Amino acid sequence: MADNHAEFIVLGAGPGGYACAFRAADLGREVVLVDPRASLGGVCLNEGCIPSKALLHAAELIRDAQHSDGWGISTGNVSVDIDKLRARKDGIVAQLTAGLSSLAERRNVRIIRGEAAFTGPKTLDIDGDSWTFEQAVIAVGSAPVQLPGWPADNRIWDSSAALELRKVPKRLAIVGGGIIGLEMATVYAALGARVVVIEFMEQIAPGVDFEAVKVLHKALESQGVTIHTRTKVSSVKATKTALTLSCEGMFSGDVKVDAAIQAVGRRASGGIVNADAAGVTTDEKGVIVVDSHCQTNIEGIFAVGDVTGNPMVAHRATYQGHVAAEVASGHAVAFETTLIPSVAYTNPELAWVGLNQGQAKEQDITHEVVGFPWSASGRNLASGSEEGFTKLVYCPNSHRLLGATLVGQNAGELLSECVLAIEMGATLKDIALTVHAHPTLSETIQLATERALGSITDL
């Protein structure tokens, strides 16, 4: 049927898929976008990045209100109406997903709600309907890893369930101290839960600059979060009154809670679209392997976002989505950067890009490190914080930046200057000689470079 033919079809309407579909439409392609969800935006918009940020902002407000007494601002006891909080979060998601639908409509992108699976290299099944296509993009994302051996129990949540904000449990265990685990610890501790984070590795946020992680670790503890590192859960027992997590390692014993969140990573969803039928290679981790053009091993079939592996972050997916749309439309572009920024929107925020000190050492890369403590930043102190720092890793010969780690309020917003500096090959002098507005936290990046060059007067 002519109706069931697509010139350019995108499977999955998350940040990778919709960005790809919209870019292709802007390049003059006739585009079909398929997703089983009722609303566009994928995990990020519906049950990930955006709802978590709405809750994290609320957590920050709660903490500020609780701690403003010393500044002469008394709010009395802070109470939280969880239904209103949930409604605000859902309202933001609804507003953004409606916005996406209207952007799709204006571009004449045809939306099909359904589950797509390949039946051949140029054919698909969508909920029982046969389709043919000329080019396809797989953007079906990833799903939370589930720990084996846990009982089926509705008090055990993945990140999506945790963000539904069904209730605030009195006692909450979070297994996995990566970005999701730490963001959820920040939210639920502010809402009044007694939170225990159980992390398998030596430190929370494994792989991130250890000094920056120490700052976050201490801050979380001061927010009432208990953290057990080098600890694993060996068994879980569910009774009517509690979940009991038996732990082994640095902490050994039982953790009794009213709910538990599993946040131990995500698995690429390559397996769900029957890619084999099209001849597309999916590895044992569910990852669809692509080249720098986001092209799979089968000509005319592309893949973008989490389904192509780590790092599984929305901004990488969007970037790849644009590349796939452009390559498929005959443009000479490629996804070549390895520079993907990461931000944990905790309190304080933790943000990093490129090489950190530990990695530079491990990889035997010639480097120097310079830091600037935010305790010397007027803006930081004026905003009620004494913690935080900016740390830059640079090449002592070329003076180019190799990486940056920032911890402190708004670190995520500040990171972009460092990403741009690395992408543009900026030297320490370039940054030092760029006038930064005062008083801003961004000055800490300039001041760090001045410190490296020996021209600093602020320390």
The catalytic residues are 438
The residue (of 411 and 448) whose beta carbon lies closer to ligand NAD is: 411
Q: How far apart are CA 408 and CA 441, in angstroms?
A: 9
Q: Which of 343, 353, 428, 445 binds ligand NAD (CB under 6 A)?
A: 343
Q: Which of 57, 110, 119, 200 binds ligand NAD (CB under 6 A)?
A: 200
User: Quick check: 150 binds ligand NAD (CB under 6 A)?
Assistant: no
Task: Quote the tokens at residue 399.
Answer: 């003076």
The residue (of 32 and 303) whose beta carbon lies closer to ligand NAD is: 303
> How many residues belong to the site for ligand NAD (CB under 6 A)?
26
The residue (of 228 and 399) whose beta carbon lies closer to ligand NAD is: 228
Question: CB of residue 250 vs ligand NAD: minimum separation in angstroms?
Answer: 12
Identity of residue 254 = D
Pairing of strands 259-262, 156-157: parallel
Binding mask 101-140 for ligand NAD (x = CB under 6 A): ----------------------------------------
Question: CB of residue 196 vs ligand NAD: minimum separation in angstroms?
Answer: 12
Question: CB of residue 177 vs ligand NAD: minimum separation in angstroms?
Answer: 5
Q: Which of residues 285-314 bind ligand NAD (CB under 6 A)?
A: 311-313
User: Quick check: 217 binds ligand NAD (CB under 6 A)?
Assistant: no
CA 169, chain centre distance (Å): 24
Contact of 428 with 453, CB cutoff 8 Å: yes
| Burial of 2: CB neighbours in 10 Å, binned 0-12, 13-18, 19+ | exposed
Q: Strand 156-157: give its sheet, edge to edge.
A: 156-157, 259-262, 171-175, 194-198, 226-228
Pairing of strands 129-138, 123-126: antiparallel
Pairing of strands 243-249, 259-262: unpaired
Question: CB of residue 225 vs ligand NAD: minimum separation in angstroms?
Answer: 15
Stretch that binds ligand NAD, among 120-128, 195-203, 354-362, 397-405 (CB under 6 A): 195-203
Question: CB of residue 173 vs ligand NAD: minimum separation in angstroms?
Answer: 10
The residue (of 176 and 388) whose beta carbon lies closer to ligand NAD is: 176
Q: Which of residues 231-290 bind ligand NAD (CB under 6 A)?
A: 232-233, 263-266
CA distances for 375 relative to 40, 383, 391, 445, angstroms = 43, 11, 14, 14
3-state secondary structure of 103: helix
DSSP for 135-175, please give it.
Answer: EEEE---EEE---TTPPP-TTEE-HHHHHH-----SEEEEE
Question: CB of residue 446 vs ligand NAD: minimum separation in angstroms?
Answer: 26
Q: How far apart are CA 35 and CA 164, in angstroms?
A: 21
Q: Which of 345, 352, 374, 389 binds ligand NAD (CB under 6 A)?
A: 345
Contact of 358 with 374, CB cutoff 8 Å: no
Q: Which of 18, 25, 54, 199 binds ligand NAD (CB under 6 A)?
A: 199
Site residues (CB under 6 A) for ligand NAD?
147, 175-181, 198-201, 206, 232-233, 263-266, 311-313, 342-345
